[in-house]
Amino acid sequence: MRVIKLGLISIVVFALLITGFSLFFPSNIRISKAIDINASKDSIMFQISNIENWKNWFPGADSAELIMKDGEIKGIRTLNKQQLIVNEITDSTVLAISKNPGFKDGKSGWNFIPAAVPNTITIQWYMDFHLHWYPWEKFSSLLLEKRYGPLLEIGLSNLKKLLEK
């Protein structure tokens, strides 16, 4: 009986320690990649703001399902049920909502920053994640960069190759 009691107390104390340690991890995480593209801002904006063009450079968009609302294409749905829906386009940004099953909605976007070199634009692609306090979500956040970082880099390099032809 004493061994069972010690085991239960140890499990509870260990769970509290893990939860307490995970509270030091941030709840809001941004993964960001940037690249300089030697092209006009209008041509870059045309590729990013028109979802039909994503199949030319966005990783996985060639096999993704288009999301239609009010007769317009608003986003894509990938094979693993992730959604990316564009909700705001300005002269220097394109903002989208990222919906992943089992997670809070996140934000994704592209910022257009004029570079020092003429006719060159720096494109920053970022993804924001908002996590619950759950320890498994906080610890899984350590892997977000490894999961999404290469996707962002591939997409930006595809966009650069497409526009600098």
The candidate with the shortest Cα–Cα distance to 127, out of 160, 164, 82, 74, is 82
Q: What is the mean pLDDT of the chain?
A: 88
**DSSP bridge pairs for 109:** 95, 126
CATH number of 27-163: 3.30.530.20
pLDDT tens by residue, 82-118: 888 899 999 899 999 988 776 778 899 999 999 888 8
pTM confidence score: 0.82
The whole-angstrom separation of Cα 148 and Cα 124 is 14
Q: Give me the pLDDT at residue 9, please.
A: 92
The whole-angstrom separation of Cα 68 and Cα 89 is 17
The answer to whether the CB of 140 falls within 8 A of the CB of 132 is no
